Chain A
Amino acid sequence: MAAADFYFGINATFRHIYEEYGEAELINYWRAMGEEYFAPVTERFKGGGLPSVAQYWREFFAEEPGSEVEITEETDCVRVEVKVCPALKHLREHERDIMPLYCQHCTEISRAICEPASIMVRVAGGNGNCCQWFCREGE
């Protein structure tokens, strides 16, 4: 059930928490989602290491309409190059105001998922295209 209009709900949720409760609470919300909702993904990464990270993102983006993503397995990292972010693409196509911290959720949620699996997350870019690295700690 990949209805792209659900991106409206994600954007509105972030804006609501930000405007009602502030930036720190929005970051708390993202971190809690990563730790609680995505706990099964953390377990998957703990057991499967970087190959499971690459597989997760392949499966994830295959379900997201409009995404253009290249996933590369390097020696100690998985590189996820988001050429077209499906969420920002859909929000822009429908002239929705994108809440200013939207892109930050990727970093915060991914870190909350990956840190317990000893995987470091780095994100460069944003605003519609970015590059995300998932690396073994110490690399």
Chain B
Amino acid sequence: MIGCAEFCGYYDWTFEYLRRRFGEEAVSDYWRTAISEDSQRHARELIVGQGIAGMEEYWAQTLEEEEAGYHMQKGEDFFRIDMFACPSLGLLLDRGRQAYHDYCDHCMGWIEPVMEEAGFVIHHEHNHAGQCYWEMRPANDDQGLSAPGEIAGEQDVRALPHWPQVCHHLWLASRRVQKQ
């Protein structure tokens, strides 16, 4: 049996299995159809149905269950998570065992389609070391990514001394961009 305690290990291995057997596109398709539309349909229902309140309800429960290190904040026109210690990548880093070349990309892979349906854009950056931030804003009134500390103050992950890493991936308004 494969169980839930070691799920992130199988999950990472599955990305690499799909990539090598069916190609990189098959991995993106898997995140969109299997994870975003099927596995995470409870998240989709909450977020599409309730917007920011649904985001808060979903992530408050799931990040507690997964024992993440995080700070969460919401306003009338934003929802923000600062992740200090990603439990999912953390499990892989602790074991020194990663199969897929970019495990962190799976989050955008399933969350972005949910937010698109819900009418939100995502400003997101991860550093491949277990830290990231997420800022969701209404697509029809996107004020852009907040400046470091503007919303989260000292809890802003960008203020951490170990935030800068060799490889960051950045999305602005749900579009991947090259970081300057």
Q: Which residues of A contact B88 (CB under 8 A)?
A: 1
A37 and B13: CB pair below 8 A?
Answer: yes
Give the interface SS of chain B, mostly helix, strand, loop or mixed: helix
Q: Which residues of B contact A27 (CB under 8 A)?
A: none
Known contacts A5-B62, A12-B35, A87-B3; A33/B87 CB under 8 A = no
Q: Which residues of A contact B14 (CB under 8 A)?
A: 13, 29, 33
Give the docked Cα–Cα distance between A11 and B2 (Å).
Answer: 11
Total inter-chain residue pairs, C-beta < 8 Å:
98
Q: Which residues of B contact A79 (CB under 8 A)?
A: none
Closest to A61 in B: B3
Q: Which residues of B contact A5 (CB under 8 A)?
A: 4, 42, 62, 65
B13 and A36: CB pair below 8 A?
Answer: yes
Give the docked Cα–Cα distance between A63 and B6 (Å).
Answer: 9
Closest to A99 in B: B38
Question: Interface residues of B, CB < 8 Å — how many?
Answer: 34
A105 and B22: CB pair below 8 A?
Answer: no
B1 and A2: CB pair below 8 A?
Answer: no
A9 and B17: CB pair below 8 A?
Answer: no
Q: Which of A10, A29, A33, A109 makes the CB contact (< 8 A) with B7?
A: A10
Report if B66 contacts A (CB, 8 A): yes
A33 and B4: CB pair below 8 A?
Answer: no
Question: Interface residues of A, CB < 8 Å — how many?
Answer: 38
Give the docked Cα–Cα distance between A63 and B42 (Å).
Answer: 24
B4 and A3: CB pair below 8 A?
Answer: yes
Closest to B7 in A: A6
A16 and B34: CB pair below 8 A?
Answer: yes
B5 and A109: CB pair below 8 A?
Answer: no
For chain A residues 28-53, which have a beta carbon within 8 Å of chain B?
28-29, 32-33, 36-37
Contact surface of A with B, Cβ cutoff 8 Å? 1-13, 15-16, 20-21, 25, 28-29, 32-33, 36-37, 60-61, 63-65, 82, 85-87, 94, 105-106, 109-110
Contact surface of B with A, Cβ cutoff 8 Å? 1-11, 13-14, 17, 21-22, 26, 29-30, 33-35, 38-40, 42, 62, 65-67, 87-88, 91, 99
Question: Which 4 A/B pairs are nearest by Cβ-Cβ distance?
Answer: A16-B34, A63-B5, A6-B7, A12-B39
* Known pairs A29-B14, A105-B2 / 19 extra A-B pairs, C-beta < 8 Å: A3-B4, A3-B65, A5-B42, A8-B39, A8-B42, A10-B2, A12-B35, A15-B34, A20-B26, A37-B10, A37-B99, A60-B1, A60-B5, A64-B5, A85-B1, A87-B1, A105-B1, A106-B1, A109-B2
